[in-house]
Amino acid sequence: MAEFPKLRLRRLRKSNLRKIFRETRLSTDNLIVPIFVDENIKEKKPIESMPGYYRIPLEGVEKEVDECLELGLESFILFGVPSYKDEVGTSAFDREGVIQKAVRRVKAEFPDAVVVTDVCLCEYTTHGHCGIVRDGEILNDETLPILGKIAVSHAEAGADVVAPSGMMDGMVAAIRRALDESGFSSIPIMSYAAKYASSFYSPFREAAESGYKFGDRKGYQMDIHNSDEAMREIELDIKEGADIIMIKPALPYLDIIRRARERFGYPLAAYNVSGEYSMVKAAIEKGWLSEDVIYEILVSIKRAGANLIITYHAKEVAEKLQ
Protein backbone atom coordinates (compact mmCIF):
# COMPACT_ATOMS: atom_id res chain seq x y z
CA MET A 1 0.00 0.00 0.00
CA ALA A 2 1.22 3.43 -0.94
CA GLU A 3 1.97 5.94 1.74
CA PHE A 4 2.08 9.70 1.98
CA PRO A 5 3.13 11.68 -0.06
CA LYS A 6 2.16 9.27 -2.89
CA LEU A 7 -1.13 8.56 -1.19
CA ARG A 8 -3.29 11.53 -0.30
CA LEU A 9 -6.78 10.73 1.00
CA ARG A 10 -7.91 14.29 0.47
CA ARG A 11 -7.95 13.68 -3.32
CA LEU A 12 -11.30 11.88 -3.13
CA ARG A 13 -12.89 14.45 -0.88
CA LYS A 14 -12.97 17.13 -3.55
CA SER A 15 -16.22 18.50 -5.02
CA ASN A 16 -18.78 15.93 -6.08
CA LEU A 17 -16.25 13.12 -6.04
CA ARG A 18 -16.91 12.76 -2.34
CA LYS A 19 -20.52 11.79 -3.06
CA ILE A 20 -19.47 8.80 -5.16
CA PHE A 21 -17.71 7.27 -2.20
CA ARG A 22 -20.38 7.98 0.34
CA GLU A 23 -20.79 4.74 2.32
CA THR A 24 -24.06 5.53 4.06
CA ARG A 25 -27.18 7.07 2.60
CA LEU A 26 -30.15 8.33 4.47
CA SER A 27 -33.44 7.75 2.70
CA THR A 28 -37.06 8.37 3.61
CA ASP A 29 -37.55 4.63 2.91
CA ASN A 30 -35.73 3.88 6.16
CA LEU A 31 -37.58 6.30 8.41
CA ILE A 32 -40.65 5.62 10.54
CA VAL A 33 -42.80 8.52 11.71
CA PRO A 34 -44.28 8.29 15.22
CA ILE A 35 -47.85 9.60 15.50
CA PHE A 36 -49.57 10.27 18.82
CA VAL A 37 -53.30 9.79 18.37
CA ASP A 38 -55.39 11.31 21.14
CA GLU A 39 -59.08 10.46 21.24
CA ASN A 40 -59.81 13.20 23.78
CA ILE A 41 -59.09 16.16 21.52
CA LYS A 42 -60.61 17.72 18.41
CA GLU A 43 -57.70 19.92 17.30
CA LYS A 44 -54.06 18.96 17.12
CA LYS A 45 -52.31 19.88 20.32
CA PRO A 46 -48.66 20.89 20.76
CA ILE A 47 -46.50 18.75 23.04
CA GLU A 48 -44.68 21.25 25.20
CA SER A 49 -41.50 19.28 25.77
CA MET A 50 -41.25 18.33 22.07
CA PRO A 51 -41.20 21.61 20.12
CA GLY A 52 -42.82 21.20 16.70
CA TYR A 53 -44.54 17.92 17.65
CA TYR A 54 -48.25 17.40 18.23
CA ARG A 55 -50.89 15.04 19.47
CA ILE A 56 -53.30 14.39 16.64
CA PRO A 57 -57.06 13.88 17.07
CA LEU A 58 -58.55 10.72 15.57
CA GLU A 59 -60.23 12.83 12.90
CA GLY A 60 -56.87 14.33 11.92
CA VAL A 61 -54.92 11.16 11.44
CA GLU A 62 -55.51 10.81 7.70
CA LYS A 63 -54.32 14.37 7.09
CA GLU A 64 -51.17 13.75 9.10
CA VAL A 65 -50.39 10.59 7.16
CA ASP A 66 -51.14 12.32 3.88
CA GLU A 67 -48.64 15.11 4.66
CA CYS A 68 -45.98 12.52 5.38
CA LEU A 69 -46.71 10.56 2.21
CA GLU A 70 -46.26 13.80 0.25
CA LEU A 71 -42.75 13.97 1.72
CA GLY A 72 -42.00 10.37 0.75
CA LEU A 73 -42.49 8.97 4.26
CA GLU A 74 -44.54 5.80 4.02
CA SER A 75 -44.12 4.12 7.42
CA PHE A 76 -45.72 5.09 10.70
CA ILE A 77 -45.78 3.92 14.28
CA LEU A 78 -48.95 4.78 16.18
CA PHE A 79 -49.22 5.55 19.90
CA GLY A 80 -52.61 6.05 21.50
CA VAL A 81 -53.91 8.35 24.19
CA PRO A 82 -57.18 6.65 25.22
CA SER A 83 -60.25 8.21 26.83
CA TYR A 84 -60.48 5.39 29.33
CA LYS A 85 -57.84 3.79 31.57
CA ASP A 86 -58.14 1.05 34.17
CA GLU A 87 -55.92 -1.24 36.25
CA VAL A 88 -55.48 -3.85 33.51
CA GLY A 89 -55.44 -1.71 30.37
CA THR A 90 -58.73 -2.94 28.88
CA SER A 91 -58.84 -0.12 26.32
CA ALA A 92 -55.58 -1.39 24.81
CA PHE A 93 -57.34 -4.35 23.18
CA ASP A 94 -60.79 -2.86 22.68
CA ARG A 95 -62.01 -3.17 19.09
CA GLU A 96 -63.22 0.39 19.43
CA GLY A 97 -60.00 1.59 21.13
CA VAL A 98 -58.10 4.62 19.90
CA ILE A 99 -55.39 2.68 18.06
CA GLN A 100 -57.77 0.19 16.48
CA LYS A 101 -59.86 3.08 15.16
CA ALA A 102 -56.81 5.02 14.00
CA VAL A 103 -55.38 2.01 12.14
CA ARG A 104 -58.69 1.37 10.37
CA ARG A 105 -58.89 5.02 9.30
CA VAL A 106 -55.35 5.10 7.94
CA LYS A 107 -55.56 1.75 6.13
CA ALA A 108 -58.95 2.60 4.62
CA GLU A 109 -57.60 5.72 2.99
CA PHE A 110 -53.97 4.69 2.39
CA PRO A 111 -53.80 0.90 2.03
CA ASP A 112 -50.13 1.02 1.03
CA ALA A 113 -48.96 2.99 4.06
CA VAL A 114 -46.98 0.78 6.47
CA VAL A 115 -48.66 0.96 9.85
CA VAL A 116 -46.75 -0.26 12.90
CA THR A 117 -48.46 -0.33 16.31
CA ASP A 118 -46.89 -0.12 19.74
CA VAL A 119 -48.03 -3.07 21.83
CA CYS A 120 -47.84 -2.02 25.46
CA LEU A 121 -50.00 -1.32 28.49
CA CYS A 122 -48.51 1.84 29.95
CA GLU A 123 -50.69 4.27 28.01
CA TYR A 124 -53.84 2.34 28.97
CA THR A 125 -53.37 1.61 32.67
CA THR A 126 -54.15 3.94 35.57
CA HIS A 127 -50.80 3.10 37.21
CA GLY A 128 -48.88 3.67 33.96
CA HIS A 129 -46.79 0.51 34.09
CA CYS A 130 -46.15 -1.78 31.14
CA GLY A 131 -47.63 -4.82 32.86
CA ILE A 132 -50.29 -5.99 35.27
CA VAL A 133 -49.59 -4.83 38.82
CA ARG A 134 -50.23 -6.75 42.04
CA ASP A 135 -49.04 -5.51 45.45
CA GLY A 136 -46.75 -2.99 43.80
CA GLU A 137 -45.12 -5.62 41.60
CA ILE A 138 -45.21 -5.70 37.80
CA LEU A 139 -46.20 -9.24 36.92
CA ASN A 140 -44.58 -10.85 33.92
CA ASP A 141 -46.46 -14.03 33.00
CA GLU A 142 -49.90 -12.61 33.79
CA THR A 143 -49.18 -9.76 31.35
CA LEU A 144 -48.30 -11.99 28.39
CA PRO A 145 -51.82 -13.10 27.35
CA ILE A 146 -52.94 -9.46 27.42
CA LEU A 147 -50.10 -8.48 25.11
CA GLY A 148 -51.22 -11.27 22.79
CA LYS A 149 -54.76 -9.89 22.81
CA ILE A 150 -53.56 -6.35 22.07
CA ALA A 151 -51.46 -7.54 19.14
CA VAL A 152 -54.34 -9.54 17.67
CA SER A 153 -56.69 -6.56 18.01
CA HIS A 154 -54.18 -4.40 16.14
CA ALA A 155 -53.78 -6.99 13.40
CA GLU A 156 -57.57 -7.27 13.07
CA ALA A 157 -57.73 -3.50 12.61
CA GLY A 158 -55.21 -3.82 9.77
CA ALA A 159 -51.79 -3.13 11.32
CA ASP A 160 -48.89 -4.26 9.13
CA VAL A 161 -46.36 -4.77 11.94
CA VAL A 162 -46.74 -5.04 15.72
CA ALA A 163 -44.06 -3.69 18.04
CA PRO A 164 -44.09 -4.88 21.67
CA SER A 165 -42.27 -2.37 23.87
CA GLY A 166 -42.94 -3.54 27.41
CA MET A 167 -39.78 -5.61 27.98
CA MET A 168 -41.66 -8.54 29.51
CA ASP A 169 -39.80 -11.86 29.29
CA GLY A 170 -41.42 -14.14 26.71
CA MET A 171 -43.49 -11.37 25.11
CA VAL A 172 -42.38 -12.11 21.56
CA ALA A 173 -43.23 -15.83 21.84
CA ALA A 174 -46.62 -15.04 23.41
CA ILE A 175 -47.49 -12.54 20.70
CA ARG A 176 -46.28 -14.82 17.90
CA ARG A 177 -48.45 -17.63 19.21
CA ALA A 178 -51.50 -15.39 19.61
CA LEU A 179 -51.11 -13.96 16.11
CA ASP A 180 -50.62 -17.37 14.52
CA GLU A 181 -53.64 -18.85 16.30
CA SER A 182 -55.77 -16.00 15.00
CA GLY A 183 -54.73 -16.36 11.38
CA PHE A 184 -52.10 -13.60 11.36
CA SER A 185 -49.01 -15.68 10.71
CA SER A 186 -47.85 -13.20 8.07
CA ILE A 187 -47.76 -10.19 10.43
CA PRO A 188 -44.18 -9.44 11.48
CA ILE A 189 -43.08 -8.57 15.01
CA MET A 190 -40.68 -5.72 15.58
CA SER A 191 -39.47 -6.28 19.10
CA TYR A 192 -38.09 -3.56 21.32
CA ALA A 193 -35.44 -6.13 22.18
CA ALA A 194 -32.86 -3.99 23.93
CA LYS A 195 -34.75 -1.19 25.59
CA TYR A 196 -32.85 0.62 28.29
CA ALA A 197 -34.26 2.23 31.45
CA SER A 198 -33.34 5.61 30.02
CA SER A 199 -33.95 9.17 31.16
CA PHE A 200 -34.41 10.13 27.53
CA TYR A 201 -38.08 9.00 27.48
CA SER A 202 -39.55 11.75 29.66
CA PRO A 203 -40.98 13.95 26.86
CA PHE A 204 -42.74 10.87 25.44
CA ARG A 205 -44.43 10.33 28.75
CA GLU A 206 -45.92 13.80 28.47
CA ALA A 207 -46.82 13.17 24.84
CA ALA A 208 -48.51 9.81 25.46
CA GLU A 209 -49.65 10.39 29.03
CA SER A 210 -47.87 7.19 29.96
CA GLY A 211 -45.93 8.24 33.04
CA TYR A 212 -46.03 5.82 35.96
CA LYS A 213 -47.65 6.59 39.30
CA PHE A 214 -45.14 4.75 41.49
CA GLY A 215 -41.65 3.26 41.29
CA ASP A 216 -39.81 3.23 37.96
CA ARG A 217 -39.25 0.92 34.99
CA LYS A 218 -35.94 -0.52 36.18
CA GLY A 219 -37.53 -3.85 37.02
CA TYR A 220 -38.13 -4.54 33.34
CA GLN A 221 -36.12 -2.14 31.20
CA MET A 222 -32.39 -2.75 30.85
CA ASP A 223 -29.57 -1.40 32.97
CA ILE A 224 -27.82 1.38 31.03
CA HIS A 225 -24.41 0.01 31.98
CA ASN A 226 -24.84 -3.26 30.09
CA SER A 227 -23.87 -4.34 26.61
CA ASP A 228 -23.52 -8.15 26.85
CA GLU A 229 -27.01 -8.28 28.32
CA ALA A 230 -28.36 -6.50 25.24
CA MET A 231 -26.91 -9.31 23.09
CA ARG A 232 -28.69 -11.89 25.28
CA GLU A 233 -31.98 -9.99 25.04
CA ILE A 234 -31.70 -9.77 21.26
CA GLU A 235 -30.71 -13.42 20.89
CA LEU A 236 -33.69 -14.48 22.96
CA ASP A 237 -36.12 -12.34 20.97
CA ILE A 238 -34.78 -13.73 17.70
CA LYS A 239 -35.28 -17.28 19.07
CA GLU A 240 -38.84 -16.38 20.09
CA GLY A 241 -39.60 -15.27 16.55
CA ALA A 242 -38.91 -11.53 16.30
CA ASP A 243 -38.63 -10.44 12.66
CA ILE A 244 -37.03 -7.10 13.42
CA ILE A 245 -35.06 -6.26 16.54
CA MET A 246 -34.94 -2.79 17.99
CA ILE A 247 -32.45 -0.90 20.08
CA LYS A 248 -33.66 2.05 22.09
CA PRO A 249 -32.61 4.84 22.61
CA ALA A 250 -30.35 5.32 19.57
CA LEU A 251 -27.70 8.00 19.86
CA PRO A 252 -26.37 7.14 23.33
CA TYR A 253 -26.39 3.43 22.33
CA LEU A 254 -24.63 3.44 18.96
CA ASP A 255 -22.15 0.89 20.33
CA ILE A 256 -25.03 -1.53 20.93
CA ILE A 257 -26.38 -0.97 17.41
CA ARG A 258 -22.97 -1.67 15.89
CA ARG A 259 -22.45 -4.75 18.03
CA ALA A 260 -25.88 -6.14 17.17
CA ARG A 261 -25.32 -5.50 13.45
CA GLU A 262 -22.01 -7.37 13.49
CA ARG A 263 -23.17 -10.20 15.68
CA PHE A 264 -26.63 -10.95 14.29
CA GLY A 265 -26.85 -9.38 10.83
CA TYR A 266 -30.58 -9.24 11.48
CA PRO A 267 -33.13 -6.60 10.40
CA LEU A 268 -32.37 -3.86 12.88
CA ALA A 269 -34.32 -0.81 14.00
CA ALA A 270 -33.17 2.05 16.20
CA TYR A 271 -35.49 4.37 18.10
CA ASN A 272 -34.26 7.97 18.11
CA VAL A 273 -36.37 8.74 21.19
CA SER A 274 -38.23 11.80 22.45
CA GLY A 275 -35.45 13.12 24.70
CA GLU A 276 -32.94 12.91 21.86
CA TYR A 277 -35.34 14.99 19.78
CA SER A 278 -36.09 17.57 22.49
CA MET A 279 -32.43 18.07 23.31
CA VAL A 280 -31.57 18.85 19.70
CA LYS A 281 -34.61 21.09 19.19
CA ALA A 282 -33.77 23.08 22.33
CA ALA A 283 -30.22 23.69 21.20
CA ILE A 284 -31.40 24.74 17.73
CA GLU A 285 -34.02 27.09 19.24
CA LYS A 286 -31.29 28.71 21.29
CA GLY A 287 -29.16 29.14 18.20
CA TRP A 288 -26.38 27.04 19.69
CA LEU A 289 -26.51 24.32 17.06
CA SER A 290 -27.55 24.41 13.42
CA GLU A 291 -30.31 22.22 12.01
CA ASP A 292 -27.64 20.23 10.18
CA VAL A 293 -27.02 18.22 13.35
CA ILE A 294 -30.33 16.41 12.76
CA TYR A 295 -29.10 14.92 9.51
CA GLU A 296 -25.73 14.12 11.04
CA ILE A 297 -27.31 12.28 13.97
CA LEU A 298 -29.58 10.20 11.72
CA VAL A 299 -26.66 9.35 9.45
CA SER A 300 -24.65 8.24 12.46
CA ILE A 301 -27.43 5.87 13.56
CA LYS A 302 -27.57 4.39 10.06
CA ARG A 303 -23.79 4.18 9.83
CA ALA A 304 -23.72 2.34 13.17
CA GLY A 305 -25.83 -0.37 11.51
CA ALA A 306 -29.54 0.38 11.81
CA ASN A 307 -31.67 -0.46 8.77
CA LEU A 308 -34.47 1.74 9.93
CA ILE A 309 -34.87 4.63 12.31
CA ILE A 310 -37.96 5.67 14.21
CA THR A 311 -37.59 9.43 14.58
CA TYR A 312 -39.60 12.54 15.42
CA HIS A 313 -37.31 14.38 13.00
CA ALA A 314 -38.67 12.39 10.04
CA LYS A 315 -40.69 15.19 8.46
CA GLU A 316 -38.09 17.91 8.80
CA VAL A 317 -35.33 15.70 7.46
CA ALA A 318 -37.54 14.40 4.63
CA GLU A 319 -37.96 17.97 3.41
CA LYS A 320 -34.19 18.19 3.08
CA LEU A 321 -33.85 14.82 1.38
CA GLN A 322 -36.29 15.73 -1.40
Write out the residues near ligand PBG by the rule CB under 6 A. Answer: 118, 120, 122, 130, 165-166, 201, 204-205, 210, 217, 273-274
Compute the distance between CA of residue 88 and CA of residue 90 in angstroms, rounded to an integer: 6
Compute the distance between CA of residue 171 and CA of residue 242 in angstroms, rounded to an integer: 10
Kindly state the smallest distance separating residue 166's Cβ from ligand PBG, in Å: 6
Beta strands of 135-260 (E only): which ranges? 137-139, 161-164, 190-195, 244-248
- Per-residue burial over 214-234, b if 16 or more Cβ lie within 10 Å, else e, is eeebeebbbeeeeeeebbebb
Instruction: Name the residue nearer to ligand PBG (CB basis): 179 or 207.
Output: 207
Q: 156: which residues sit within 8 A by CB, 6+ positions away?
A: 95, 100, 182
Instruction: Name the residue nearer to ligand PBG (CB basis): 104 or 205.
Output: 205
Beta-bridged to residue 132, according to DSSP, are: 139
Q: Which of 195, 281, 302, 315 is catalytic?
A: 195
Kindly state the smallest distance separating residue 289's Cβ from ligand PBG, in Å: 20
Q: Which residue is nearest to ligand PBG (CB)?
A: 204
Kindly state the smallest distance separating residue 74's Cβ from ligand PBG, in Å: 20
* Cβ 155 vs Cβ 162: under 8 Å: yes
Instruction: Name the residue nearer to ligand PBG (CB basis): 83 or 199.
Output: 199
- If we measure between CA atoms, which residue out of 15, 13, 27, 10 comes closest to residue 298? 27
Kindly state the smallest distance separating residue 1's Cβ from ligand PBG, in Å: 45
- Helix H or strand E encompassing 43: none
Instruction: Name the residue nearer to ligand PBG (CB basis): 101 or 313.
Output: 313
Instruction: Name the residue nearer to ligand PBG (CB basis): 279 or 284.
Output: 279
Q: Is 248 a catalytic residue?
A: yes
Compute the distance between CA of residue 310 and CA of residue 114 in angstroms, rounded to an integer: 13
Q: Is 63 a catalytic residue?
A: no
Q: Which of 248, 281, 302, 315 is catalytic?
A: 248
User: Distance of CA 287 to CAs 235, 251, 297, 313, Å?
Assistant: 43, 21, 17, 18
Instruction: Name the residue nearer to ligand PBG (CB basis): 93 or 204.
Output: 204
Residue 183 exposed, middle or buried by CB count within 10 Å (0-12, 13-18, 19+): exposed
Q: Residue 215: what residue type?
A: G
Compute the distance between CA of residue 236 and CA of residue 96 in angstroms, rounded to an integer: 33
Kindly state the smallest distance separating residue 195's Cβ from ligand PBG, in Å: 7
Kindly state the smallest distance separating residue 3's Cβ from ligand PBG, in Å: 47
Active-site residue list: 195, 248
